[in-house]
Structure 1
Amino acid sequence: MTPQWFGRSAARRRGGADLVVVGAGVVGAASAYFASLAGLRVVVVERGAIAGGTSSAGEGNLLVSDKEAGPELDLALYSQRVWREDLAEHAALWEFEAKGGLVVAASEPSVAALRELGDHQRRHGVEVRDVAREELRDYEPHLSPELAGAAFYPQDAQVQPMLVVAHLLRLARGLGTEVRTGTEVTGFLRDGERVTGVRTTGGDIPAGAVLNAAGTWAGAVAGLAGVRVPVLPRRGFILVTQPMPPRTVRHKVYAAEYVGDVASSDAALQTSPVVEGTDSGTILIGASRERVGFDRTVSVEAISALAAKAIALFPMLREVRAMRTYLGFRPYCPDHLPVIGPDPRAPGLWHACGHEGAGIGLSTGTGKLVAQALTGRAPDLDLKPFAPDRFPDTEPDTEEVPQ
């Protein structure tokens, strides 16, 4: 079928590419890999180092448990298939671990709400097992005995996100992709309204299409093309403990209120405990959310709240030392859906951004769908719910532009 842009051959003749991907985080890496696998000549440009933004500051979650029925859950389930089928042979490279997620509730009303959510999710393809109070210790021996029940999600998994980025880009390079780090996009090449490439600090790159996969910087990149994509930073902290014996925490364990925090648009600080172990023995503790622009100040309030709530789930953590903490910025969209697909306001410009805290898990599905659409195939999922032009052009963004 005919690709969804013109000028592909012309761009190649001018020393350009079929596709320029802006951003070498996990979404950009997945998009580059699947586009190159589909036969496109791809150039990835990154102003810093690969995985230098959000992808280096997360836990590597591949979750379906925290998503209600709708387009994001559809994308999460689709991405799960891509991780487990299309990329199965490479799973060991990024430490894919199908550990499952245990969502715990502290009261009977919370258990009832968890059961209702699980019923809805089951009808849309999610595997959910109800866990009674007396079964909790079978899943996690160190959990607090005060908890009232839980739901177990065997599809939840985890990867090491920086390894995902590094290896997807390595695989893409093997298919002909070029990766240019230290290369900042400063503008777009245009033929009338059409985007025909990028201007960068390393020179112009003509292209048949440009994909904005710039994470928390995606709104600024879109602005260079004269279009509004309201991706805003949402800061989060993670605590890392001293190494513990293997399988001290067996699954990803989080409190039921985490689901509500993920779906919230509140700019104020929100914390809900998420606790999981790693192969090295350290335990990761999250999750906090707040919209404070790109302020990198360490918040004692956020860290203290995370520690206290983690201890409430696992009392034994009271005697465990925290070795360090780190922070990152999730690329947040006001309606909690990512932005995926072609931008009709600037033909030739595509977007794959705004995945907030779900970007690691949704990256592979996003990349495969974008590659399908770019090469003229019908995407496996309808991209309309993720349309870049679904937001009003006149509504101002309140967060500062990243420097």
Structure 2
Amino acid sequence: MRPDVVVVGAGIVGAACAEALSAAGVQVTVIDQGAPAGGTTAAGEGNVLLSDKPPGPELELAKASVARWPKLLATLADLLGPEQAEVEWDPKGGLVVALENADALAGFAGHQRQAGVRAELITPSDALALEPNLTRDVIAAVHYPDDAQLQPVLAATTLLAAVRHRGGQVRGGVTALGLRPDGVRTSEGFLQCGAVVNACGPWAGRFSELAGAPIDIQPRRGVVLVTSHTSYTVRHKVYDADYVGAVESGAADLQTSTVVESTQAGTILIGSSRERVGFDETIRVAVLRELARKAVRLFPTLATVPIMRAYGGFRPYAPDHLPVIGPDPRVPGLWHATGHEGAGIGLAAATGQLLADLFLGREPEVDPFPFRVDRPAVMTCT
């Protein structure tokens, strides 16, 4: 069957776009060069965050996504059944702490409150009540009740299961090689369709060149440590206030900041690192040591918990730190949904809805203008 839309990329963002289109009756085929949900999504922590975003377009997209995720998951549970739609959704909230420079943290939270985010400035004693294992060196903290977490691979595969349930196809091991006016050339032959969505994540820049409409999306590598199964308690997503600066930075050199959270599987995830090294997959011991050292500074008794493994992945980095969502004016039928860097899990629900709204000519909930393709920061060829 000839699909209306081919989504190139079966990670969380591509899956969310495909699900939102299929929910509106659009016939969708999703292809991926690897296994569905096996790339950047599989290397994610599952963050659904408001706490790390300053006021602006990305925060507005995040607010829409945080509100949409529970509704979307309920819809998927009704469609597929609760067992198949289980994604380990955990609205546990976030805790951002400062070991120095308390004024900067308070000021950032104040700006977020003005933008409609629940950002509750609390005392160090309150922070210790929320997280008993936290260091006593905390001098300020902000509680974010609306931060959440999910299991990213489960979320992506559930979205793709909904696409299949509605008659769409999901095909792994199929590489997109370029476009023709009536479809996309692939490693498995020509696939006729009416439109193509570039949801290739860190590889979106590469595919955009093949499609004849290059955009500046680059891979930015990150590494996460995983502890063995433990009874050690981390009740929220907890990170040092330096994390916000690392997220917003455009520097290519290595940056690390402390992020610690438990999973429902009983492990603890420790991050985070950011560096632009192309597609170099090397995991460097020095980076792992830095992550561990900073995590122990935040949770001193974490030093007794063994590390089981480490994993790394590439995030799609846009120079202006904003996703690219919408039609490409240079190539009719080409759409983009990429550039979310490390926020793709959290932003996916609203991204899929926004792309579907634009594709179908519906009034979008979120202003699409800041995410347009033809903006100077990402348009590499006019």
Q: TM-score range by the shorter chain?
A: over 0.9
Question: How many Å separate the matches in 2 of 1:44 and 1:278?
Answer: 29
Provide the TM-score with structure 2 as the length reference: 0.95
Residue-by-residue CA offset, 1:293-334 (whole Å, 9 max, x unaligned): 111111111111100000000000111111110001111100
The answer (yes or no) to whether the contact 1:229–1:391 under 8 Å persists in 2 is no
Work out which of the residue numbers 278, 289, 308 in structure 2 matches 1:293: 278
The answer (yes or no) to whether the contact 1:212–1:350 under 8 Å persists in 2 is yes
In the alignment, structure 1 residue 198 sits paired with structure 2 residue 155: no
Question: How many Å separate the matches in 2 of 1:54 and 1:132?
Answer: 36
Displacement after TM superposition at 1:395 (Å): 5.4
Counterpart AA for 2:99: A
The answer (yes or no) to whether the contact 2:202–2:316 under 8 Å persists in 1 is yes
In the alignment, structure 1 residue 377 sits paired with structure 2 residue 366: no
The answer (yes or no) to whether the contact 2:12–2:156 under 8 Å persists in 1 is yes
Task: State the match for 1:95 in structure 2.
Answer: 88
Counterpart AA for 1:341: G
Cα distance, 1:89–1:20 mapped onto 2, change above 3 Å: closer
Task: State the match for 1:86 in structure 2.
Answer: 72
Counterpart AA for 1:103: V
In the alignment, structure 1 residue 156 sits paired with structure 2 residue 147: yes
Counterpart AA for 2:212: G
Displacement after TM superposition at 1:48 (Å): 1.1
Residue-by-residue CA offset, 1:320-353 (whole Å, 9 max, x unaligned): 1111100011111000000000000111100000
The answer (yes or no) to whether the contact 2:33–2:174 under 8 Å persists in 1 is yes
Task: State the match for 1:8 in structure 2.
Answer: none
Question: How many Å separate the matches in 2 of 1:50 and 1:299?
Answer: 27
Q: For this pair of structures, how many residues does the alignment match? A: 374
Work out which of the residue numbers 242, 248, 266 in structure 2 matches 1:263: 248
Residue-by-residue CA offset, 1:181-225 (whole Å, 9 max, x unaligned): 1111111112xxxxx310111121121111000111101111012
Counterpart AA for 2:203: W
Counterpart AA for 2:265: S
Task: State the match for 1:282 in structure 2.
Answer: 267
In the alignment, structure 1 residue 125 sits paired with structure 2 residue 102: no
Cα distance, 1:395–1:381 mapped onto 2, change above 3 Å: closer
Question: How many Å separate the matches in 2 of 1:48 and 1:133?
Answer: 46
Structure 1: segments with no counterpart, 5+ residues: 1-14, 191-195, 397-403
Question: How many Å separate the matches in 1 of 2:186 and 2:65?
Answer: 32
Task: State the match for 1:76 in structure 2.
Answer: 62
Question: How many Å separate the matches in 2 of 1:32 and 1:386?
Answer: 19
Secondary structure of 2:222's partner? strand
Work out which of the residue numbers 173, 184, 193 in structure 2 matches 1:182: 173
Task: State the match for 2:134 in structure 1.
Answer: 143
Bigger shift: residues 222-231 or 19-28: 222-231
Question: How many Å separate the matches in 2 of 1:292 and 1:158?
Answer: 28
Counterpart AA for 1:29: A
Counterpart AA for 1:24: A
Displacement after TM superposition at 1:369 (Å): 0.9
What do you get for the CA RMSD once the two structures are aligned? 1.4
Secondary structure of 1:93's partner? coil
Counterpart AA for 1:322: I
Question: How many Å separate the matches in 2 of 1:151 and 1:88?
Answer: 29
The answer (yes or no) to whether the contact 2:216–2:380 under 8 Å persists in 1 is no
Work out which of the residue numbers 207, 213, 224 in structure 1 matches 2:193: 207
Secondary structure of 2:35's partner? coil
Provide the TM-score with structure 1 as the length reference: 0.90
In the alignment, structure 1 residue 50 sits paired with structure 2 residue 36: yes
Displacement after TM superposition at 1:89 (Å): 4.6
Displacement after TM superposition at 1:98 (Å): 0.3
Task: State the match for 2:321 in structure 1.
Answer: 336
Bigger shift: residues 83-92 or 307-316: 83-92
Secondary structure of 1:351's partner? strand
Work out which of the residue numbers 216, 222, 228 in structure 1 matches 2:214: 228
Residues 307-386 of structure 1: matches in 2 within 5 Å?
A: 307-386=292-371
Displacement after TM superposition at 1:153 (Å): 0.3
Displacement after TM superposition at 1:90 (Å): 4.3
Structure 2: segments with no counterpart, 5+ residues: 78-84
Counterpart AA for 2:372: A
